[in-house]
Structure 1
C-alpha cells in the first residue's frame, strides 16, 4: 500500500511591518555613506593645517610629467590649474597696487615745494600730532622696503639692560625677547608717541611690565640708567632716530656715554644712497617730507657715525643704500659714571619718571 505524502509544515506568519509614507525627493535627506571621503576641512582643523593641506594639493612638475595627454586635458586637471593660477595673479596685483601707491606718495612729495628756510629746527610737534595714526601711515612703506624683518632681527639681539632711543610708537616692541632682558628703558621726546608705546608694551609683554621704564626726554640729555645698570646699558637700540634730531653726532656720543664698554649699539637708519641720482631726489623731497613727518631722510649716516667717533663693528646697506644697518661699540674710557653726569648737567623738567623710579631698587629685584 502506497504511503501518503506528509503535509507541509506550517510556519507562523509574522504581521507585516507598516511602511512609512514615501517623502518627496526634495524633502529626502541623503544617508551617510560608510566609505565616504573625509571632508577637506575638519571642524577642529587649524588655519596652519588647512593651508598645509591646500599647499600639498598644488600641481607639481613631477605630477605633470606622469600624466598622459588625456589626463592633462581633463576638466578636473584644468580646474585645478585655474584655481592655482589665481594665487600668482593675486600676488602680482598686490605688489602692483603697493608700488602704485608708493609712486603716488613719491610724486606728491616731488610736486610739493617747501622752502627750507620756513622750517623750524625743532619738528617734534609733527610726532605729537601723528602719534595715534603713525603706524598706519608707515606700514605700507616699511612693508615695501622689507624693514619689518630687519626690525625683528635687530630687537632680538637686545640683551641685559636695554635702552631704546627714539622709541616712537614702539614698532620694535613686539620683537623683544624679554626673557633675555634684565630691564628695558624706552625713551622718546614725544609724550603722545610714548603713550602709544606704553599701550603696545602692555598688550604684548604685560607680564614684564614691571621691568620697563618709560622716559620722556631728549636723547641728547644725560640718560640715567635704572638700578643695577650703573655701569651702563648692555644694549642700546635706535631705529630711524638720527633723521629726526638736529644734533645727531651729539646724540650718538651721549648714547656712547650711556653704554658699557663691552656693550653694543644697534642702529637701523635711513639716509643717503649709493647713487647720486637718488640722492638728488632725496635732497629735493627732503623739506616736504620733513615738514610732514618731522624726518630728514637725506642725511649722510656714514659721516655722522664717523664724526661721533664710535667704533664700527658691522655695517650693511639695503634699498639702494638708503637703509643703514650699523652695529657699533663705544670707545674705551668714554663711559662716565652716573654721578658725574648728573652733577655736570641739571635734569630737564620735561623728564617723566616711570612707575618705578630709576634711582630706587624695584621690588622685582628681590626674586631675581
Structure 2
C-alpha cells in the first residue's frame, strides 16, 4: 500500500491561508467630530487595508451645522496700531464687555472733546437749578422777613380766588416747581380709582394726572365759579375723550355732597390738594368728606401745607401768614396734624416733606358715620314745621360730630 508524503512544516493543514490583519498601534486623541468614531489607517505598498464596520443609524450622529456658542472669553483678532512692530494680527483673550475702545482711541483728541461736550450739559443743568433755587430762596427769605403787616384780615378768604382765577397757575408754578409739589400731585392723583370726588379743585392742577382708565366717574367741586370754569376748560383741552363722564359742581365743601346715581354708597376716592388752608372750618370739612366717602374700601387723599418741624420756621410762617392769606387766600400756618386728629378719621399713612411744611395724608372713613348722617338728615326732613311765634333752635346736620 502506497504512503502519502508528509506535509512540509509551515503549510497549514486545513483551509486556505488567511491574510494578515494589521491593527493600528494607537488612535490619535484629537480627531474631527464627523469621523471621530472611525479610524482609517494609511495604506502602504503590499499591505492590505483592514476592514471596518460602519455604525448603524441608531448610534451614528451627523455633525451639527450650527455655529458654536461664543464663550465668555474668546480669541479676537485685533490689529495693532500703525507703526508698531510685531505681527500683523495677534490673538488675545478679550471679554466682549471689555472690548469697547482701545487705549489709543480713548486718548484721541476727538474722543476727549466729545466727552468734554457731554460733561458740560449736566454741569450746566445743575448750575442752572442751583441758581434758580438760590434766587427763589433769597426772594422767599426777603418776603418772610420784610412781609407787610396786614390788619383785620378775615378768616374766610374765598373771594380771593374769584379775582385770581385766570392768572393763578402762573403765580404758583414756580413755587410748586421748587418744592417738587408737581411730582407729589401726580403720585397722589394716580391713587384715584372708581367714583372720584375732588374737593377744592381750583383751576384743576391735578387734571393731567388723572388715571381715567381706573375712574368710573369724576366729580370736580369748587366754591369759586371762575376757578371751576378754568378747570372745566382745562379738562376739555387735556382729556376730551373722558369729558362726558366728568361732573362739575359749584358748591362749598362744607355743604352736604350728593354722589352720582351709580355711587349711592359714596365715592371710592375723595381727593383734595391744598384745600384745608383755604377753608374757615377745616375739621368740619374733613368730617363732611368722610360722610361722602364709601365705608368699605373708600379712601381720602390729602396734600396740604401747614406747620413745619422747626419752631424757627413756624415763627416765620406765623409772622407772614396774614399777608400771604390776604394775597393768595390761604393760611399756610395751620397745624394739619391737629386738624386730622380732631376730625377723628382713621389715619392710614402720613408723611411730611419740605422741612415738614408739606403734608401727605391718607385717611380711611369710620364705619357707621355715613348711615348716621343719613338718619340725622331724615329726622330733620320729617320733623313738622314750627309756628312762627314759637321759634325753636334746630341743630345743624353736622352737630353729630361736634
Normalising by structure 1, we get a TM-score of 0.71
Contact 1:151 1:172 in 2 (8 A): yes
State the SS of the aligned residue for 1:139.
helix
Q: Select the residue among 323, 345, 354 that pairs with 2:358.
A: 323
* Aligned mates of 1:188, 1:97 — CA distance in 2: 37
Are 1:285 and 2:316 matched, yes or no? Answer: no
Closer, same or farther: CA 343–190 of 1 in aligned 2, 3 Å: farther
Q: Select the residue among 277, 299, 302 that pairs with 2:334.
A: 299
State the SS of the aligned residue for 2:117.
helix
Partner of 1:314: 349
Closer, same or farther: CA 276–157 of 1 in aligned 2, 3 Å: same
Partner of 2:50: none
Normalising by structure 2, we get a TM-score of 0.66
Contact 2:222 2:250 in 1 (8 A): yes
* Aligned mates of 2:98, 2:182 — CA distance in 1: 37
Partner of 2:185: 151
Aligned positions of 1:10-159 closer than 5 A: 68=103, 71=105, 73-115=107-149, 117-159=151-193
Tell me the number of residue pairs that the alignment of Structure 1 and Structure 2 aligns. Answer: 283
Are 1:228 and 2:243 matched, yes or no? Answer: no
Larger Rg: 2
* Aligned mates of 1:238, 1:343 — CA distance in 2: 30
Contact 1:166 1:187 in 2 (8 A): yes
Closer, same or farther: CA 267–311 of 1 in aligned 2, 3 Å: same
* Aligned mates of 2:260, 2:148 — CA distance in 1: 43
Partner of 2:209: 175
Runs of 5+ unmatched residues, structure 2: 1-96, 382-402
1:32-72 deviation digits (Å, cap 9, x = unpaired): xxxxxxxxxxxxxxxxxxxxxxxxxxxxxx9999653x655
* Aligned mates of 1:236, 1:328 — CA distance in 2: 10
* Aligned mates of 2:378, 2:180 — CA distance in 1: 40
Contact 2:145 2:316 in 1 (8 A): no
* Aligned mates of 1:141, 1:181 — CA distance in 2: 30
Q: Which has the higher contact order (CA 8 A, sep 6+)?
A: 1
Q: Select the residue among 205, 210, 222 that pairs with 2:239.
A: 205
Give 1 or 2: higher helix fraction: 1
Are 1:265 and 2:300 matched, yes or no? Answer: yes
* Aligned mates of 1:307, 1:339 — CA distance in 2: 23
Runs of 5+ unmatched residues, structure 1: 1-61, 346-368
The alignment's C-alpha RMSD in Å is 2.3
